[in-house]
């Protein structure tokens, strides 16, 4: 039987396209797979497979300073995500809703932290906190405040951009309809505008969360000598050679982010038809 020519959309029937797809996935995921696999490697060093063990997870769990760094990172991520989402959402709403002189300049200025190199932000924040006389050595959650502030500064513009894009498709007549039906300004926001913004807010929050969790440069510059976050701690551990303990800790972090992403996608699902 003669094989029919594949149509333009039958990409799975072209072997080279399949190969390309496979190569892309290998390129994207091989390092992560290796990281996860070697977290179970029964060897001090990371080079040769010696046998399966979960020892290094136990070791990581017993490493108090690693745990503290992990806790710090999650706390910072949580706080900065909440603040960034609120600020970014409000900024997007304000830019969408109001016409005022200098509006486009405000919009451009608010997106600046996205393009400013991180290293410059880091140095700027370092100088800023030194200038205002920020004192390290405050009790625990307060000791993270300057890092949280730094993270908010670079992640809320991302939230604003995402929510703004979402709002571009909003039919303003819906707000008018709501008021026409007797709703107050607040009720209109709560029941009509906010539900429309929700997918954008969730996507933005997710972005802010991952940006904060793995930020190294800015945190490195803003954190005091005794506040460690996870990426900074991992960096200091790797300097003495990558042990499977680092792999184990990283695997846990990957699991946490994947779970959060799945959760966020789930939350978004009932609104799928809205877009």
Partner 1 sequence: MRPPIVSIDGVTKRFGETAAVDQVSIDIQANEFFALLGPSGCGKTTLLRMLAGFETPNEGRILIDGDDMTRVPPNRRPVNMVFQSYAVFPHMTVEANVAYGLKVEGIGGAELRRRVDEALAMVRLENFRARKPDQLSGGQRQRVALARALIKRPKVLLLDEPLSALDKKLREQMQLELVRLQHEVGITFVMVTHDQEEALSMANRIAVMDHGRVLQIADPRTLYEHPTHRFVAEFIGTVNSLDVEVRSVDGPHARIRHPLLGEITVERAAPDVERGVVVARPEKLRLDFSAPPVDGEILLDAVVEQIAYYGDLSFVFVRCPDGTALQISRYNVNRQDKGDPAAGSLCRVGIHPDDLLLVGTG
Give me the residues that bind partner 1 (CB under 8 A), please. 171, 173-174, 176-184, 187, 191-192, 195-196, 271, 273-274
CB of 173 to partner 1, least distance (A): 4
Closer residue to partner 1 (CB): 57 or 196:
196
Among 163, 148, 128, residue whose Cα is nearest residue 213: 148
User: In the bound complex, what is the minimum distance in angstroms from residue 203's beta carbon to partner 1?
Assistant: 16
Total Cβ atoms within 10 A of residue 253 = 17
Is the CB of 117 or the CB of 270 nearer to partner 1? 270
d(CA 168, CA 166): 5
- The sign of the dihedral angle between the CA atoms of 121, 122, 127, 133 is positive
Q: How far is the CB of 172 from partner 1 (least distance, A)?
A: 9
39: phi > 0 → left, psi -120 to 50 → alpha, else beta; which? alpha
Measured from the CB atom, is 49 or 191 closer to partner 1?
Answer: 191
Distance CA 1, CA 46 (A): 52
Where b means 16+ CB within 10 Å and e means fewer, 203-223 reads bbbbbbbbbbbbbebbbbbbb
C-alpha span between 165 and 40 (Å, rounded): 43
Q: How far is the CB of 208 from partner 1 (least distance, A)?
A: 23
Closest CB 140 distance from partner 1, rounded Å: 41
**Nearer Cβ to partner 1 (198/233):** 198
Give the nearest distance from C-beta 21 to partner 1 in angstroms: 32
Question: Are the C-beta atoms of 205 and 158 separated by less than 8 Å?
Answer: no
Instruction: Name, in order, each residue with C-beta under 8 angstroms of 15's C-beta and a sequence gap of 6 or more.
Output: none
CA-nearest of 165, 146, 36 to 93 is 165
C-beta of 187: minimal distance to partner 1 in Å?
Answer: 5
Q: Which is nearer to partner 1, 44 or 172 (CB)?
A: 172
Of 28 and 275, which CB lies nearer to partner 1 in the complex structure?
A: 275
CB-nearer residue toward partner 1: 10 or 180: 180
If you search the block for the tokens 């510059």, which residue do you land on?
221
Instruction: Kindly report the backbone phi and psi dihedral angles of residue 209, in degrees, each rounded to the nearest multiple of 5, phi listed first.
Output: -60, -50
**Whole-angstrom distance, CA of residue 269 vs CA of residue 248:** 32
């Amino acid at each position: 039987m003669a094989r029919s020519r594949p149509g333009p959309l039958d990409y799975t029937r072209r072997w080279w396209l399949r190969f390309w797809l496979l190569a892309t996935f290998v390129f994207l995921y091989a390092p992560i797979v290796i990281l996860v696999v070697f977290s179970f490697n029964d060897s001090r060093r990371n080079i040769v497979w010696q046998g399966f063990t979960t020892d290094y997870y136990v070791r990581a769990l017993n490493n108090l300073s690693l745990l503290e760094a992990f806790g710090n990172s999650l706390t910072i991520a949580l706080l900065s995500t909440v603040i960034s989402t609120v600020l970014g959402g409000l900024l997007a709403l304000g830019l969408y809703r109001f016409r005022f002189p200098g509006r486009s300049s405000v919009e451009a200025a608010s997106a600046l932290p996205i393009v400013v190199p991180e290293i410059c932000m880091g140095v700027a924040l370092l100088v800023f906190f030194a200038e205002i006389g920020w004192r390290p050595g405050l009790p625990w959650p307060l000791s993270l405040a300057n890092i949280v502030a730094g993270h908010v500064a670079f992640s809320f513009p991302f939230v604003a951009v995402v929510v703004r894009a979402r709002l571009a498709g909003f039919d303003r007549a819906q707000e008018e309809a709501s008021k026409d039906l007797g709703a107050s300004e607040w009720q209109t926001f709560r029941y009509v505008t906010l539900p429309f913004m929700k997918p954008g807010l969730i996507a933005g929050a997710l972005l802010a969360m991952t940006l904060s969790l793995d930020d190294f440069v800015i945190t490195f510059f803003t954190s005091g000598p005794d506040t460690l976050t996870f990426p900074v701690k991992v960096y200091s551990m790797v300097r003495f050679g990558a042990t499977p303990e680092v792999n184990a800790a990283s695997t846990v972090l990957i699991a946490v982010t994947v779970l959060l992403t799945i959760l966020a996608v789930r939350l978004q699902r009932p609104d799928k038809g809205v877009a």
